Amino acid sequence: MRAILLIGLIGTAFLLQRLDASSAETLLTNGDFVGIGGDQRFDVHFEEEGRLTISGEFGRFEGIWRLVDSTLCVDLESDLRASRNCEEVTMEGPHSLRVGDRFFLAKLASVLSLS
């Protein structure tokens, strides 16, 4: 059990790295993610054209996203939540990202049914 935990911790430390703009954009573009931040779970869709949609129990918001080096900037366009926010993005696994110190995004994969 300790060996498995140690391997997991080493693997996590190895994967926790700054993203370059190219790899982050590849991961985000046309991607569907589940986000976790605070006590909330939400869905995020990043489009290739720089549009994004965030939805959860708090409602649905649309905006624009862009990457500057390893910083993700989001401009929300919705009436009451219009805002701009930029956070550093780090890779936490092959398909997951930490955004600043508040949010975690995990990319959803397609599921193939073999029936």
Q: pLDDT digits over 9-26, tens only?
A: 334 444 445 556 567 788
Instruction: Locate 62 and state its tokens.
Output: 């649309």
- Report pLDDT for 21: 58
Domain that holds residue 72: 2-107
pLDDT tens string 57-77? 988 989 999 988 889 999 988
**CATH of residue 18:** 2.40.128.640
pLDDT tens string 92-113? 888 889 999 989 999 997 554 5
In a domain, 54, yes or no: yes
**What CA–CA distance (Å, rounded) separates 104 from 90?**
10
- Neighbouring CB atoms inside 10 A of 37's CB total 15
Looking at residue 108, what DSSP letter applies? Answer: P
In a domain, 114, yes or no: no
In a domain, 93, yes or no: yes
The closest of 81, 87, 111 to 35, measured between CA atoms, is 87
Alpha carbon 61 to its chain's center: 16
In a domain, 80, yes or no: yes
Per the structure, the count of domains in the chain is: 1
